[in-house]
């Protein structure tokens, strides 16, 4: 594994390689990241992982400051997974150049997390666009847990005719159906127990909606989730992944964003 902190040196190294797969991360790597990286390594070509905590996608300074960091463990994981390149840039390296592509934000950016995190998706698309211009990968691998982010990046790439293929990767879960997330590491044992109970209720809620046993209103399910220990509920929505609207049939994903203590967690299933 070769480590780069400078885009010029990285470009010099990879400029003749036409089959690079990019896995962008903010570090604090977990089983979900590992699954995506393994998928990349198994494919043809070279794997490039980036670690950059992007300030522009945080709408809360305290959240940015408290975002989990574990550089030593990240390096250990990436070496074990035998990636080819690691790019750990500074803020200046990522942002001090003029991009060729304009940021494109699809209207879906105003839904779900976009309603609660002002400027978040503009920050996400900005940094991903810059990483794409720096590395020019053939493929970019992204997790389905962040479905909204995945969708918006795909739209940006298509709109700008960027020659990078998006590979969606399945969500990896633990035995309690909790999707692995860097922020999970901030939960204590008591908070984790609360989350396990909440996930059980949300799974049943989806099942009941499919079987038409129940048609709880949002206010009722929200009240139930808060009674189980959620500090706050931003949204619980059911969405048809093809139309991005309220489903007419029983094929849909349930999306949620909740706070356990001060930690915001999102998922869809």
Which positions are catalytic? 33
pLDDT of residue 214: 66
For residues 250 and 194, the model is more confident at 194
- Average pLDDT of span 227-243: 97
- Average pLDDT of span 79-107: 98
Q: Give domain 2-169's CATH superfamily.
A: HUPs (3.40.50.620)
pLDDT of residue 125: 98
Which residue ranges does the chain devote to CATH 3.40.50.620?
A: 2-169
pLDDT of residue 218: 83
Judge whether residue 215 has pLDDT over 80.
no
Architecture of the domain spanning 182-268: 2-Layer Sandwich (3.30)
- Average pLDDT of span 265-269: 98
Which residue ranges does the chain devote to CATH 3.30.1300.10?
A: 182-268
Count Cα atoms within 13 angstroms, Cβ side, for 70. Answer: 13
The answer to whether the CB of 13 falls within 8 A of the CB of 85 is yes
Judge whether residue 29 has pLDDT over 80.
yes
pLDDT digits (tens, 9 = 90+) for 94-137: 999 999 999 999 999 999 999 999 999 999 999 999 999 999 99
pLDDT digits (tens, 9 = 90+) for 133-171: 999 999 999 999 999 999 999 999 999 999 999 999 999
pLDDT of residue 88: 98
Dig out the tokens for 191 from the structure.
């908070």
263: three-class secondary structure by DSSP: strand
The answer to whether the CB of 116 falls within 8 A of the CB of 235 is yes
**Band of residue 216 on the pLDDT scale cut at 50, 70, 90:** low
How many Å from the N-terminal Cα to the C-terminal Cα in the chain?
34
pLDDT of residue 180: 98
What's the helix, strand, coil split of the chain in %, to 5? 45, 20, 35
Give the DSSP per-residue string, 141-171: EEEGGGHHHHHHHHHHHHHTT-S-EEEEEPP
Torsion sign across C-alpha atoms 216, 218, 219, 223: positive
């Amino acid at each position: 594994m070769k480590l780069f902190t400078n885009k010029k040196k990285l470009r010099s190294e990879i400029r003749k390689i036409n089959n690079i797969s990019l896995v962008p991360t903010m570090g604090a790597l977990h089983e979900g990241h590992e699954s995506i990286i393994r998928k990349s390594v198994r494919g043809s070509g070279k794997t490039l992982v980036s670690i950059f905590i992007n300030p522009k996608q945080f709408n809360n300074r305290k959240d940015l400051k408290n975002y989990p960091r574990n550089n030593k463990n990240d390096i250990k994981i990436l070496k074990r997974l035998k990636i080819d390149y690691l790019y750990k840039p500074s803020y200046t390296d990522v942002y001090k150049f003029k991009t060729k592509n304009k940021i494109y934000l699809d209207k879906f950016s105003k839904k779900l997390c976009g309603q609660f995190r002002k400027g978040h998706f503009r920050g996400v698309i900005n940094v991903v666009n810059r990483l794409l211009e720096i590395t020019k990968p053939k493929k970019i691998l992204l997790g389905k847990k962040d479905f909204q982010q995945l969708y918006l990046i795909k739209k940006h790439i298509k709109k700008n005719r960027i020659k990078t293929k998006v590979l969606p990767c399945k969500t990896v879960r633990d035995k309690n159906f909790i999707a692995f997330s860097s922020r999970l590491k901030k939960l204590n044992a008591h908070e984790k127990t609360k989350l396990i109970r909440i996930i059980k209720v949300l799974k049943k809620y989806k099942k009941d909606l499919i079987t038409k046993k129940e048609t709880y209103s949002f206010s009722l399910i929200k009240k139930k989730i808060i009674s189980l220990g959620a500090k706050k509920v931003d949204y619980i929505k059911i969405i048809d992944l093809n139309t991005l609207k309220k489903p007419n049939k029983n094929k849909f994903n349930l999306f949620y964003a909740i706070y356990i203590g001060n930690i915001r967690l999102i998922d869809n299933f």
